[in-house]
């Protein structure tokens, strides 16, 4: 057993380490999750939201959506009774699985071509849903992926897509982003979170996606 003085110092060190861990920025602190029921319309026929943006069934049905892509799990079980639902959940903080990305985009594009009103949802409405919306607009426009990012992020002030998610979508879309372009994306964010992505994190994301 340690002497009393050393035991007390040991406890203080452990308490300090514990406090540091609790105060350290986590992955989710890169996002400022909206506390209100936010749904952002990018086009008249395209919107994104998080869990809180769905609301209750009665208010949801007033939007007149025909299709919903779910990029996260655990959405309301009544949604498939209201519209065509495609559940393709994937992790935020990792590259999008390429086959999943192409499956999602093909499904979204089918609804886009048929003039459906589309909702793309994820947990916070800031990363995965935003990225899928960018991909959909890109494939239906004659503009660069970077220009499509600018359009979507202007309409979604809380948008802050994970660099691994965003850069993988750009690569799969055939218009990969360079370091300078991706840095510019995050420098122009309307409402940056308390812990923005560092240059090192952005560069690491591009290195991982390019492999």
Tokens describing residue 72? 């996260």
pLDDT of residue 48: 97
Answer yes or no: are the C-beta atoms of 53 and 121 closer than 8 Å: yes
Tokens describing residue 93? 């903080």
Q: Is residue 153 part of a domain?
A: yes
70-74 CB contacts, 8 Å cutoff, 24+ apart: 70/121, 70/122, 71/104, 71/120, 71/121, 71/122, 71/128, 71/129, 71/132, 72/121, 72/122, 72/123, 72/128
Low-confidence ranges of the chain (pLDDT < 50): 1-36
Q: Is residue 7 part of a domain?
A: no
Q: Is residue 9 part of a domain?
A: no
Residue range(s) defining the domain that contains residue 121: 34-210
pLDDT of residue 15: 40
Q: Is residue 109 part of a domain?
A: yes
The separation between the first and the last C-alpha atoms of the chain, rounded to the nearest angstrom, is 52
Tokens describing residue 103? 């499956």
- On whether the pTM is more than 0.85, the answer is no
CATH of the domain at 112: 3.90.190.10
Q: Is residue 11 part of a domain?
A: no
pLDDT of residue 37: 63
Q: Is residue 125 part of a domain?
A: yes
Helix (H) / strand (E) containing 40 = strand 39-43
Q: Is residue 10 part of a domain?
A: no
Number of folded domains that form the chain = 1
Q: Report the alpha-carbon distance of residue 182 to residue 159 in Å, rounded.
A: 14
Pairing status of strand 46-49 against strand 118-121: parallel
Q: Is residue 152 part of a domain?
A: yes
């Amino acid at each position: 057993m340690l002497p009393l003085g050393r035991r007390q110092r040991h406890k203080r060190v452990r308490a300090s380490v514990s406090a540091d861990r609790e105060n350290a920025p986590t992955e989710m602190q890169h996002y400022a999750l909206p506390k209100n029921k936010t749904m952002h319309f990018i086009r008249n026929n395209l919107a994104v939201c998080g869990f809180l943006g769905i609301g209750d069934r009665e208010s949801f049905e007033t939007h007149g959506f025909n299709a919903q892509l779910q990029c996260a799990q655990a959405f309301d079980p009544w949604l498939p009774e209201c519209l065509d639902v495609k559940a393709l959940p994937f992790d935020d903080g990792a590259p999008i699985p390429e086959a999943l990305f192409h499956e999602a985009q093909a499904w979204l594009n089918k609804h886009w071509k048929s003039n459906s009103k589309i909702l793309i949802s994820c947990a916070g409405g800031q990363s995965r849903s935003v990225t899928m919306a960018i991909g959909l607009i890109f494939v239906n426009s004659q503009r660069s992926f970077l220009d499509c990012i600018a359009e979507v992020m202007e309409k979604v002030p809380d948008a802050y897509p994970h660099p691994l998610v965003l850069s993988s979508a750009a690569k799969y879309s055939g218009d990969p982003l360079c370091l300078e372009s991706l840095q510019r994306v995050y420098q122009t964010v309307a409402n940056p979170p308390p812990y923005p992505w560092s240059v090192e994190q952005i560069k690491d994301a591009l290195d991982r996606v390019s492999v």
